């Protein structure tokens, strides 16, 4: 079972690692990897050229923002939503019964899409990072109205586009929430993402190489959203601290005539105990 909506993987300088592409290949999920033209030869040697989408620009110095907006426009006419994934995701999983289990199909992506399609006003959805969900701590299947990072299902007709240089996921999440939409962060489904700055390539050697313990990142978000953002020092560096409590008033609006099936639509079974984490 695969997702209905197109999947775009934004990548730069990671033809050798290509973690997200490898994960999707293992799951047999269709995708396009989005690269700048100067890297076509490198990526073509390791990825089927039919899966490569080449951008019409390169080295603009704006991080991933131009590529993100390009694929947003590219997805129009193809579907009502699109997935946009970072290129440092080492797989996806299911959190259930005190276990984190790697998945080997696109079923969880399809299940997330079906959930989103039941409602009129979900602007963004995605999966929580595995390291934010302790295996033996009880959590809800999803959280409403918080930030969605790195693996995002976006409603195409949102009246927004990506902007800025830093914290673009948080900025877009906040603009979506302020407009009255809901966001859904699935916790039953998880992404095994490598933490920011832990891999070469991407924005690590350019946008993130500021040398100021990332205070500029936090200050830029506070300038965009001073009503909900503070700049704090934690864990040896500067962070933004966003108060999402005001968005608890954003309520899901179910589409008229939607009937939620009572039977299991997504039969999944554990095939290999070595996938337990």
pLDDT digits (tens, 9 = 90+) for 171-219: 999 999 999 999 999 999 999 999 876 556 554 455 555 556 689 999 9
User: What are the distances in angstroms from CA 27 to CA 14, 103, 128, 234?
Assistant: 20, 7, 19, 37
Residue at 275 is within a domain: no
Same domain? 164 vs 200: yes
What CATH number does the domain containing 92 carry?
A: 3.90.550.10
Task: Tabulate helix, strand, coil % of the chain (nearest 5).
Answer: 25, 25, 50
Residue at 56 is within a domain: yes
Residue at 256 is within a domain: no
Bridge partners (DSSP) of residue 129 are: 191
Distance CA 251, CA 199 (A): 38
What is the predicted pLDDT for the residue at 199?
A: 57
User: What are the distances in angstroms from CA 252 to CA 122, 148, 152, 194, 200?
Assistant: 7, 16, 18, 31, 39
Residue at 233 is within a domain: yes
Same domain? 18 vs 97: yes
Whether pTM > 0.85 for this model: the answer is yes
Same domain? 221 vs 100: no
Residue at 2 is within a domain: no
Same domain? 144 vs 233: no
Is it the case that residue 225 has pLDDT exceeding 70?
Answer: yes
Same domain? 202 vs 122: yes
Would strands 142-144 and 229-234 be described as parallel, antiparallel, or unpaired?
unpaired
Same domain? 104 vs 145: yes
Same domain? 73 vs 156: yes
Same domain? 77 vs 194: yes
Name the CA dihedral angle for 92, 102, 5, 187, rounded to a multiple of 10 degrees.
Answer: -60
Residues 132-159: tens digit of each pLDDT: 999 889 999 999 999 999 999 999 999 9
Distance CA 131, CA 111 (A): 22
SS3 163: coil
Residue at 260 is within a domain: no
Is it the case that residue 7 has pLDDT exceeding 90?
Answer: yes
Q: How far apart are the two ends of the chain, measured CA to CA in Å? A: 24
Same domain? 49 vs 160: yes
Residue at 95 is within a domain: yes
Same domain? 53 vs 182: yes
Same domain? 168 vs 240: no
Percentage of residues of the chain with pLDDT beyond 90: 79
Enclosing H/E stretch for 65: helix 65-75
Domain containing residue 228 = 210-244
Residue at 264 is within a domain: no
Same domain? 235 vs 138: no
Structural domain tally of the chain? 2
């Amino acid at each position: 079972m695969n997702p209905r909506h197109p999947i775009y993987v934004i990548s730069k300088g990671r033809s050798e690692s290509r973690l997200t592409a490898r994960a999707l290949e293992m799951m047999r999920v269709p995708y396009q990897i989005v690269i700048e033209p100067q890297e076509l030869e490198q990526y073509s040697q390791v990825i089927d050229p039919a899966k490569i989408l080449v951008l019409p620009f390169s080295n603009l110095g704006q991080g991933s923002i131009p590529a993100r907006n390009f694929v947003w426009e590219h997805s129009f006419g193809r579907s009502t939503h699109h997935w946009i994934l970072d290129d440092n995701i080492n797989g996806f999983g299911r959190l259930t019964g005190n276990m984190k289990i790697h998945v080997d199909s696109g079923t969880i992506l399809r299940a997330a899409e079906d959930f989103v399609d039941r409602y009129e006003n979900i602007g963004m959805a995605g999966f929580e990072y595995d390291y934010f969900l302790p295996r033996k701590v009880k959590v809800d299947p999803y959280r409403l109205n918080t930030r969605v990072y790195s693996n995002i299902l976006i409603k195409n007709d949102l009246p927004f586009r990506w902007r800025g240089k830093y914290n673009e996921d948080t900025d877009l999440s906040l603009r979506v929430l302020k407009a009255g939409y809901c966001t859904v962060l699935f916790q039953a489904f998880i992404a095994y993402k490598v933490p920011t700055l832990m891999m070469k390539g991407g924005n690590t050697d350019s946008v993130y190489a500021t040398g100021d313990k990332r205070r500029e990142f936090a200050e830029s978000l506070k300038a965009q959203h001073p009503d909900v953002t503070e700049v704090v020092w934690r864990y040896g560096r500067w962070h933004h601290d966003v108060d999402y409590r005001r968005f608890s008033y954003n309520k899901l609006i179910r589409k008229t005539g939607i009937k939620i099936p009572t039977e299991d639509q997504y039969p999944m079974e554990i095939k290999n105990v070595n996938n337990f984490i």
